[in-house]
Amino acid sequence: MPKWSEEVLMNLWLSSLVWVTCIHCMSVSPLPAQSKSTLTGGSAVVASGLGERQRLLSRTKRGWVWNQMFVLEEFSGPDPILVGRLHTDLDVGSKNIKYVLAGEGAGTIFAINELTGDIHAMKRLDREEKAEYTLTAQVINADTDEPLEPPSEFIIKVQDINDNPPQFIEGPYRASVPEMSAVGTPVTRVTATDADDPVYGNSAKLVYSILEGQPYFSIDPSSATIKVALHGMDREMREEYLVVIQAKDMGGHMGGLSGTTTVTVTLTDINDNPPKFSKSLYEFVIPEDLPIGKMGGKVKANDRDIGENSKSTYGIVEGDDQSTFEIITDTQTQEGILRLKKPLDYESRRAYTLKVEATNIRSEPNSGGPFKDTATVKIVVDDSDEPPVFSKSMYPLEVNENAPINTVIGTVTARDPDSTGSFVRYFIDRHTDLERQFNINVDDGKITLAKTLDRETNTWHNITVTATEVRNHSQISRAIVAIRVMDINDNAPEFATEYKVIQTVSAVDKDDPIQGHYFDYRLLPEMLNNPNFTIKNNQDNSISVLAKHDTFRRQKQEMYFLPIIVTDNGNPPMSSTNTLTIRVCGCSKDGIVQSCNIEAYVLPIGLSMGALIAILACVSLLLVIVVLFVTLRRHKNEPLIIKDDEDVRENIIRYDDEGGGEEDTEAFDIATLQNPDGINGYLPRKDIKPDLQFMPRVDQHSGPNGVDVDEFINVRLHEADNDPTAPPYDSIQIYGYEGRGSIAGSLSSLETASSDSDQNYDYLREWGPRFRRLGELYSVGESDRET
């Protein structure tokens, strides 16, 4: 049996009180008897009242009106618990009646004694599972099962006891509050639930308290609101707190049930800490040749805050020369980057002192402005070896044309800016003076003429002069010298040059104006100063293309393009740009075009596809011959001379023919020179296969005697130079024999009058051990000679 509290026992006593309600059923005819029904026990009693007796006589039928019954939850005992008792005034002992129970739980949870009307609870009930049951009671004749009274409903309520502790369904909790919050600042609110009846008694009346987390936080006992209880809570000292909350029912009194949960409270950051430099003085050494915009040093102010509250910006607030340096903020590392704004000069200034400041980006309201901190930065300039510095970046000089060689044009000067003051030497960059028209004194920088100048050929000469330190040749600086050639009267008057007409062109217009066509021709603006070609209007809708000089060379440029704008006289005028292609052709002395094919120029320095294939075939054939030669040598018989390890003799290759001498006439037919007219026309070459058709040469007429060797050789030389079928290599003439009249005599040892025995080969012994074997073969003794 559980121990019932005083409050529970009081509730049970109140539930056993009897409420009386009189309901009478009146009938038109008088009834033989009167009856009343009563519900006792843990319910109410229904009975006839004395004051209602007169009205009962007029009712036609009677019925029951039931109040509620109560049963205590979680009751466990050896016997079923009595819930209540049904009773009717028809039960006088003489009638055989029976009580019947129907509805929720009838027969399973609740059972009725058919004879006495007692209702018992057969099972242990849980109010949190089901709080009430609706049942129907009726009195019937036990013999005939006929109802003696109409059925009536009544309710059995399960009375609550404190059997469920409070629970925090949403726990554990996490909450946050700004650091340095005032006492009483709400943090969060927790909620506990109790499954007991909140209406009946104090089983569900909860009271909250803090078990852990004091003295930092407090909680309202009724609303469960957690508040700040301590002043000046600093996140930098402690960031997270664990608070344990208890909820107790029965109004917090003894005997009540309780439940707990945890709340993790995090202090959020506010900007309550200023930035602080790690050092009050920073020193940096910066080379004087540091490029502009490069970093010279880094400073950093640390802030104990986090996030945006810790970010700062840097700036220079004081200093000797604030225009030389600047400081920027690295947003990633929160460092101040010191950068150079102007070049440094060790010789003019060697140290700088700056005052830098770090300022928080954000500031809290009523904090008196953003937090700041300052530090001193001392910069020492380190000396670097600098190149010489010219007094000017460009020197304009003048000289008269045809001035004599070694004339002094002008002087350039440069100095070493370093404190050591190295000597400087001067040179002319010959890439800017390819013709070596100028010289410079390496010591004093005086520029003189090396060649005479002609203003009519070139008015300006731009050269580059370099200055180099004597002790460090890698330190070089450059300056431009612009030399203007001044004119002198060195040319006599002459007729203007008549440009040569190379082509006449005209335009065609599909329109047919009434006034007829009139075309205007002009060159593109960028072609007006074209040194090669120009145009002349013939006033008949055509133009002549003129060549400004006659020194065109195909080796220099093969093709020229001349854009010409043609405009008609229509309304509105229409224009188009046409490009005239001009090709340089090879001509004879008489101006006769010999070849205009572009291949005629390309072939002497390049190879066509056919020539390339032929060369590859020759190379392949040569490789096959070499392979066969090596194979045959491997299968050749061993020589008669037995070689040992010291035999270092090489193979001797014998040739069957020798070169011709003065009597060799097979190399060149002298008859050709004696009769040049015998070979008129073109003789094709037999050493290569021509890819292009060569233009036949014009017949050359000899003099009266029929022999003009000089003219013949010049013509053949000209043809050889312009022959597109000629190979890009020299021909080799092979001579069949050596003549008897050779001044050098025969070099063959086969025809010599002396023998090996007449020669002395003792000198071979002096050549060392590598030639010892050879000396033994040729240095024979007396016995050998006699034999």
Per residue in 255-280, pLDDT (tens digit) is 889 999 999 999 999 988 899 998 99
Handedness of CA 276, 281, 286, 288 (dihedral sign): positive
| pLDDT in the model for residue 367 | 66
pLDDT tens-place string over residues 648-702: 444 555 555 555 555 555 544 555 555 544 444 444 444 444 444 444 444 444 4
pLDDT of residue 774: 77
Averaged pLDDT for residues 505-528: 83
**Average pLDDT score over residue span 226-249:** 94
Top pLDDT among 22 and 658 is at: 658
Amino acid in position 439: N
Mean pLDDT calculated for residue range 354-381 = 86
**More confident: 233 or 56:** 233
What amino acid is encoded at 68 in this protein? Q
Predicted pLDDT of residue 14: 38
For position 126, what pLDDT does the model report?
82
Do 276-382 and 494-591 come out as alike in CATH topology? Answer: yes
HSE at residue 711, side-chain half, CA atoms within 13 A, is 11
Tokens for 284, please give them.
């940096």
The pLDDT of residue 107 is above 90: no
The dihedral region occupied by 630, where left means phi > 0, alpha psi between -120 and 50, and beta the remainder, is alpha
The three-state secondary structure class of 33 is coil
How confident is residue 399, by pLDDT bands cut at 50, 70 and 90?
very high
Alpha helices in 635-744 (DSSP H): 671-674, 709-722
DSSP 195-216: -S-SSSTTTT--EEEEEESTTT
Q: Residue 122 pLDDT more than 60?
A: yes
What pLDDT does 480 receive? Answer: 95
In the sheet with 500-506, reading across from the earlier edge strand, the strands are: 500-506, 542-547, 533-537
pLDDT of residue 248: 92
pLDDT digits (tens, 9 = 90+) for 127-151: 888 888 888 888 888 888 888 888 8
Q: Which residue has the higher pLDDT, 209 or 553?
A: 209
Res 735: pLDDT: 52
Question: Could you tell me the residue ranges of all domains in the chain?
Answer: 68-159, 167-268, 276-382, 389-486, 494-591
Predicted confidence band at 643 (pLDDT cuts at 50, 70, 90)?
Answer: very low
pLDDT at 206 over 80: yes
Specify the higher pLDDT residue, 66 or 483.
483
Contact 548, 534 (CB under 8 A): yes
At residue 657, the pLDDT reads: 53
**Which CATH number applies to 68-159: 1.10.1040.50, 3.40.190.10, 3.40.1800.10, 2.60.40.60?**
2.60.40.60
Q: Are 338 and 327 in contact (CB under 8 A)?
A: yes
Q: What is the CA radius of gyration of the chain?
A: 65
Whether 706 has a pLDDT exceeding 60, the answer reads no
Lowest mean pLDDT segment, chosen from 207-216, 366-375, 439-448: 366-375
Name the pLDDT band for 765 (thresholds 50, 70, 90). Answer: low
- Look up the CATH number of domain 167-268: 2.60.40.60
Provide CB contacts within 8 A for 344, sequence distance 6+.
Answer: 286, 287, 288, 289, 290, 324, 381
Q: Classify strands 408-411 and 446-449 as parallel, antiparallel or unpaired.
A: antiparallel
Q: Quick one: what percent of the chain has pLDDT higher than 90?
A: 27
Task: Identify the CATH number of the domain defined by range 494-591.
Answer: 2.60.40.60
Q: Is the CA virtual torsion 149, 153, 154, 156 positive or negative?
A: positive
3-state SS class at 422:
coil
Top CATH class, 276-382:
mainly beta
The pTM of the full predicted model, rounded to 2 decimals, is: 0.44
Distance, CA of 422 to CA of 288 (rounded, Å) = 18
Confidence category of residue 190, pLDDT binned at 50, 70, 90: very high
Write down the pLDDT at residue 413.
94
Return the pLDDT at 692. Answer: 43
> Residue 493: is its pLDDT beyond 80?
no
Round the average pLDDT of the chain to a whole number and report it: 76
Give dist(CA 125, CA 716) in Å, integer: 137
Using alpha carbons, select from 564, 563, 561 the residue that is nearest to residue 581.
561
Specify which of 494-498, 543-547, 696-700 reaches the highest per-range mean pLDDT: 543-547
- Band (779; pLDDT cuts 50, 70, 90): low
The mean pLDDT of 601-623, rounded to a whole number, is 72
The second-level CATH assignment, the architecture, of 389-486 is Sandwich (2.60)
Q: What is the pLDDT of residue 315?
A: 92
* Distance from C-alpha of 256 to C-alpha of 259, rounded to nearest angstrom: 10
